[in-house]
Structure 1
Amino acid sequence: MAQVPGGAHERMLSVAVAALNEREPERLWPLLASALPGLCGGETLIYKLDDWNEAQGTVGMPSEVAVEFDGLGEEDLGLLRAGFPFADHYAGGPDRTPLTARAAAGAAWSASPTARLIGDVMDADHVLAVPLPQTTTPITGCMIYRSGTDFTEDHVRVARQLQPLLAAVEQQRQLLERLKRTPAPESAGETAVDCPLTPREMTVLLLLTDALTAAAIGRRLGISDRTVHKHIEKIYRKLGTRDRVSTVLRAQQLGLIPTP
């Protein structure tokens, strides 16, 4: 088992707590981008929340790196979107283990246009791909960059340890996006402000609407069944309900979740 760098467990926990308390979905991956490279032996990263292909999609990165990419043409942006050599590698099967570019492509990596691009723009020599676990189509995740020597086996193992955290943050982002798309209640009566839920309680509430069991919610969020039941009890108390169906209906009435 890799020894996570000193203080990294505390930093990982800090990132997880910050993510669970963040209400703006667009801030979640930038939060990860500031913490993740240092945990895996890297210097910076880019993330792609849509498929790793060169034709379309957006690439996210820390603001200090984004300045370097402002002048790139469409061809170079396509190289970033494609994520050579990882898109082809992960598309070939279900394995989502973090992998370095050199391990995936061998000597072809150093001679590739992508290696040239990141060398010119980011002064980096090596890339470590960290796909989100269990993703199929599209394949999403992030790529971490460093200069000098390649990532070590310990760096790759640490990246593997971090994959569940990345998946949880991405699930949180998607849930928050769903929440933002929820229209405000039209009634002039009681509103969501009258029964405020914590970010974690909102996450559990949204998963309740998907008819997931407490055990399934616990697996999705990485918490115990008992903790899930405690969150559900608090939701019931705040919404003044006693069961799942009435809770979902009440949350829809208040505009907390979308009405089908």
Structure 2
Amino acid sequence: MGTTAYERVLSVAVAALHERDPEQLWPLLAADLPGLCGGDALIYKLEDWNESEGTLGLSPGATAEFTSLGDEDMGVLRAGYPLAGHYASTPDRAPVTAGRVAGRSWPRSRTARLLDELLDVDHVLGIPLPQSTTPITGCMVYRSGRDFTDDELRLAEQLQPLLAAVEQQRQLLRRLNTPSEEAADLALTPRETTVLLLLGDALTAQSIGRRLGISERTVHKHIANIYRKLGTHDRVSAVLHAQRLGLLPTAVGARP
């Protein structure tokens, strides 16, 4: 990854980890990911989705075009030919293009023709979340002209941990209560808040690090900041105080 690309990825990662609204995390990524991968537009698919329903989002440049589609055409795009079938049939989660999966049949497919008419794009790059199972979650990046290069596929693979971390952050932030005014005054960062939630799940610092994709040392730094801001000195008192403030759900003892 070149210095410029690395700096752009780092900038996106920092912005994502400072976003407090979980529903803004993927729109934030969708605005920058296509350019990082050499693409023009992007669709992301989260949680349960199929041809007719489920969480699906678009990059800003594609929103108007996609939202104007009829149900039948939208179902074609939601189906994710041929990438959804490819990832459902293999445990391999390496990024790959539609052209490499479907070969000569890709340009003749209904999906390719629709994308050409809609966005004037010819190629699709699939970037699944590393641990996703059926239905496969992640994103598809679109571009016109030549297909994605080997270097761009390698860059997409380097981006996968970032996508996984952002999705983990989104899921954790969605579990949190809306903080009271007193809790908001504590000024916990979004990352400290997710670490606090996992403390309430009785995870060790090592397990929290694995869950969030950060080092155990970094986790301990977050925990120290949490204790300082809450005015506590141990895990139990921190979790109980956070519950009293309405920051954590009262039934945080069970793991998700």
Distance in 1 between the 2:215 and 2:244 partners?
29
Determine the C-alpha separation between the residues in 1 that align with 2:151 and 2:49. 25
Partners of 1:114 and 1:58 lie apart in 2 by: 20
Q: Give the structure 1 partner of residue 242 of structure 2.
A: 251
CA gap of 1:101–1:152, structure 2 versus 1, over 3 A, is same
Shift of 1:79: 1.1
Equivalent pair of 1:94/1:134 in contact (CA under 8 Å): no
Unaligned runs of 5+ in 2: 252-256
Does the 8 A contact of 1:46 with 1:59 survive in 2?
A: yes
CA deviations on 1:52-109 (whole Å, 9 max, x unpaired) are 5313223211233111123211111111211111111111132111010011111221
Q: CA RMSD in A?
A: 1.7
Contact 1:52 1:83 in 2 (8 A): no
2:223 aligned residue: 232
Q: 1:112 aligns with which of 89, 109, 112?
A: 109
Partner deviation per Cα, 1:115-158 (whole Å, 9 max, x = no partner): 01111101000000000011113310000001111111111111
Task: Extract structure 1 runs of 4+ deviating beyond 3 A.
Answer: none
SS at match of 1:94: coil
Amino acid across the alignment from 1:110: P
Are 2:30 and 2:60, in contact at CA under 8 Å, matched by a contact in 1?
no
Q: TM-score, normalised by structure 2?
A: 0.92
TM-score where L is the length of structure 1? 0.91
Within 2, Cα distance between the matches of 1:123 and 1:211?
Answer: 50
* Count of aligned pairs between the two proteins: 251
User: Relative to structure 1, is the Cα distance of residues 161 and 107 closer, same or farther in structure 2, using a 3 angstrom cutoff?
Assistant: same
Structure 1: 5+ residue stretches without partners: none
Residues 21, 173 of structure 2: 8 Å contact kept: yes
Q: Which residue of 2 aligns with 1:221?
A: 212
Alpha-carbon distance in 1 for matches of 2:34, 2:142: 8
> What is the aligned partner in structure 2 of residue 46 from structure 1?
43
Pick aligned residue for 1:204 from 171, 195, 208: 195
Match of 2:58 among 57, 61, 72: 61
> Which residue identity lines up with residue 6 of structure 2 in the other structure?
H
2:161 is aligned with 1:170: no
